[in-house]
Chain A
Amino acid sequence: MNAQELIESGNLELYVAGSLSAEEAKEVEDAIEQHPEVKEQVELIEDSVITLAEAVSPPLSALIWSQIVENINRVRSISERKPSTNWGAITGWAAAILALAGIFWMLKEKNDLQDRVRYTTTQNAVLEEKANKAESQLAEAEDVLDIVRSKEYNTYTLPGNQAVAPQSFAKVYLNKKDKIAYIDAKGLPEPPRGKVYQVWSLTMQPLTPTSVGLLDSYAESDTKLFRVDMGAVAATEAFGITLEPEGGSETPTMDQLYTLGKVTP
């Protein structure tokens, strides 16, 4: 169809009315592109229709347009409104979170402090105990010093028995007048379980051992200094220390003689 044929076909009128098939409409569109007279005809047909339709129109209220504008702006403002940042709410939440964090921090601090106080209290008790112990040890040491320094006491060293314990030794501080002796057993090995050192006072002619005491609670003693009462012993020429079963023995077990030493008269 050339331009003139198309104009006379009646398709332009149907094109404006919107009742052409897509195919026929395409043909008209192509013709409009190429032929100004086709376009002009379409515009004239459209103008006729518009004028007719306008003639039929009742008066148009201005309110209609204002409502259309209101509507599209409302839709627009809803759809385009960026999610506004509610600083008030954010600040509120932030404050609440901070406050909570603060409370938790303070609780933790309090617990830590309580723990520390508890620890310190324990520590104090331990220290106090240590101090007490140190004090008593000091007193004990002073006592020992007094003994050692005193002219009432004579010091004797009991060398180790070469056959049993060559490295061992013991010291005896003996007060002959008051019949008191202190045995310094630091040079003896710790007795095995179930055994105990027993101190013997000996007279030589004939050899007579007399038990003067057990060095029990050897492990617990810090100074390893043991007081021995010699009141029951008539005379002492030598001291011997043997390892005996717990509770001690009637007579010394000679093959467990650790130290032996003479005492000068």
Chain B
Amino acid sequence: MKQPDELILAMQDGDEKAFSKLYTMYSEAMFGIIYSIVLDEGDAEEVMQDVFIKIWDNSQSYNVKKGRFFTWILNIARNTAIDKTRPKAYKNSKKNLSTTNFVDILATSDNLNKKTNAIGIKKYLAALKPACIKIIDFLIFKGYTQKDAAKEIDIPLGTLKTRNRKCMQDLKTIVLG
């Protein structure tokens, strides 16, 4: 998907309609990320509101020429969600996050998201190597740094990078066909 730069620029100019369209485009993915961290729907909804209010309020700090908009809001979502799960004293540490990952969520979820053909994804994700699930969970859902992720999985940094690439290719095949 091409990044909707025009909508982003309009939102930065205070266009609420553009913001609304961006919400429609990214909200479900953000909610999935948030939920995978807070693991509570009520908390996830609160965080969701905070995240999009932050996106609106801080839209000027994003530059369409630098970084993906998705990556920018992904960071906001992860950090806000992590803040929600932690007592204040531990806020800056990403460690001790729940070990529940996206596959666990998909496995236990009763009302899977119809829109994204979650049922099919659920079936195929089982084929994803456990190492890949960990890597994707750490790097995408939990926002670990490469260093932290490598340390957590106990593999060298370089290995993490190439393994992550392979996992992501597998994922791409699963989710996009």
Contact = CB atoms under 8 A, between A and B. Distances in A.
Contact of B53 (A17, A19, A57, A72): A72
A10 B139 CA distance: 12
Interface string A37-77: 00000111111111111111111110111011101100100
Contact of B67 (A11, A25, A54, A67): A25
A18 B30 contact: no
Contact of B32 (A11, A57, A63): A57
Contacts of B175: 47-48, 51-52, 55
B146 A19 contact: yes
Interface residues of A, number: 42
Given A16-B70, A17-B71, A58-B44, A52 B140 contact: yes
Nearest to A17: B139
Contacts of B172: 44-45, 47-48
Interface in B117-160: 117-118, 121-122, 136, 139-141, 143-146, 149
A9 B164 CA distance: 10
Interface string A11-37: 101111111000001000100000000
A58 B31 contact: yes
Interface residues of B, number: 65
The prevalent SS among residues of B at the interface is helix
Contacts of A46: 1, 68, 70-71
B88 interface: no
Contacts of B13: none
B112 interface: yes
Interface string B48-60: 1100110011000
Given A19-B143, A29-B65, A57 B171 contact: no
A1 to B, nearest CB: 13
A141 B1 CA distance: 127
Nearest to A56: B32
B91 to A, nearest CB: 18
A45 B175 CA distance: 11
B162 to A, nearest CB: 5
Given A18-B143, A58-B35, A72-B16, A51 B176 contact: yes
Given A19-B143, A51-B176, A57 B70 contact: no
26 contacts: A13-B168, A16-B71, A18-B75, A43-B1, A44-B172, A45-B168, A46-B70, A49-B140, A50-B1, A50-B29, A51-B29, A51-B121, A52-B102, A53-B29, A53-B102, A53-B141, A54-B113, A56-B36, A56-B106, A56-B109, A56-B113, A58-B113, A60-B31, A60-B48, A71-B53, A72-B19
Interface of A: 8-11, 13-19, 25, 29, 42-61, 63-65, 67-69, 71-72, 75
In order of increasing CB-CB distance, the 4 nearest A-B pairs are: A57-B32, A10-B165, A53-B32, A56-B32
Interface of B: 1-3, 16, 19-20, 23, 26-33, 35-36, 41, 44-45, 48-49, 52-53, 56-57, 65-68, 70-71, 74-75, 102, 105-106, 109, 111-113, 115-118, 121-122, 136, 139-141, 143-146, 149, 161-162, 164-165, 168, 171-172, 175-176
